Copies of this chain bind each other. A is one copy, B any other.
Amino acid sequence: MFARNLWYVAAWADEVTTVPLARTFLNEPVVLFRGTGGSVAALEDRCCHRALPLRHGDVVGDCLRCAYHGLEYDLNGQCVRIPGQDKIPSKARVKAYQVVERDDLIWIWMGEAEKADASKIPAYPWHRDSKWKYRKNTYLIDADHLLIYDNLLDLTHLGYVHKQTIGGDAETHFAATTKTTRTDNGVRVERWMLDCVPPPTYTSSYTFGTDRVDRWQEIEFEPGLVRIFTGAKDVGTGAPEGNRDGGFGFRGLNAMTPETDDTTHYFWSAAHNFRLDEPSVTDEIYRNIVITFGEDKEIIESQYRSMKRTPDRPFIDIGFDIAPVQARRLWAAMIKAESAPAPL
């Protein structure tokens, strides 16, 4: 059961080319392609003739041609050519999904067509901001997407899951001041670890002026993604008061799109705001995230298999579950609203 009336990330913009890209979203097989005119389209990945997935096809102009018997579909899914015959039945078409290219991402609308509103697409301007450099990847996670939100919204696991990498000492994380607030459309967590030792992943690419820093973590959830802004500055140089210039700043995009009931596309990017001209720094930060997310992936997938085995057993909540629990309530409310009968 997924919320459908929201924009999900379908792909990185540079993944969608004139070579068709097949991806399943919310259990529906979709084929993405870019016409030779540059427009992006997302069609149902099933030819209406004999069901061959269109992923095998070729882009011909602004059409996708089925690899089996050559039917051609335009960007709207309408069949515009049937080899060997002039008449094209009006039913010869496949479903088309609305897509928007923005912030280096392709966003897709899997819900009720008339409710799609491109102005509601979550912003992620840092992909286009010259003060930031980023690298990105796409993972397939063998777990329900909600487990990834749980993980991202609860940063106390850093001290356990990531004790060898970005985590550092577990006690530091429990001692952090944590403020959780509801936003218009999501949940926001702000944490401060004042006067602490920076973790190895910070010092490996950034040189602080002192041994101790003020360290922050801001996590913004809205359905479809989590923005993470973390960083640190020399202790006592004004970070908590709002001046974060000149420190170590990291921005992470985490966009989750359900593939099936049991699997999730995880699109992530890692951006930094210092040493912008040194690709090796960008690479080093990226590599740290690869390691970190690899640790999370192993935990989350094992956790999901365990949950699937006993789906009805209750959990014991603990204090740090506030933000994840709020996010889950928000999803549940969306799903409930979508399944409610329309107002009179």
Contact = CB atoms under 8 A, between A and B. Distances in A.
A49 B303 CA distance: 11
Contacts of A70: 156, 159-160, 170
Contact of A84 (B84, B161, B306, B319): B319
Contacts of A111: none
Contacts of A130: none
Interface in A47-103: 48-53, 56, 65-71, 79, 82-85, 89, 91-92
Given A82-B318, A154-B69, A160-B68, A303 B174 contact: no
Interface stretch (A181-189, A212-220, A308-316): A308-316
Interface in A254-279: none
B156 A83 contact: yes
B83 A51 contact: no
Contact of A303 (B51, B89, B318): B51
A307 interface: yes
Contact of A69 (B66, B310, B318): B318
A52 B306 contact: yes
Contacts of A190: none
A48 B318 contact: no
A299 to B, nearest CB: 6
Please list the 3 inter-chain residue pairs (A to B) with the smallest Cβ-Cβ separation, ordered nearest first. A84-B174, A51-B306, A52-B303
Interface of A: 29, 45-46, 48-53, 56, 65-71, 79, 82-85, 89, 91-92, 150, 154, 156-157, 159-161, 170, 174, 298-299, 302-303, 306-307, 309-310, 313, 315-320
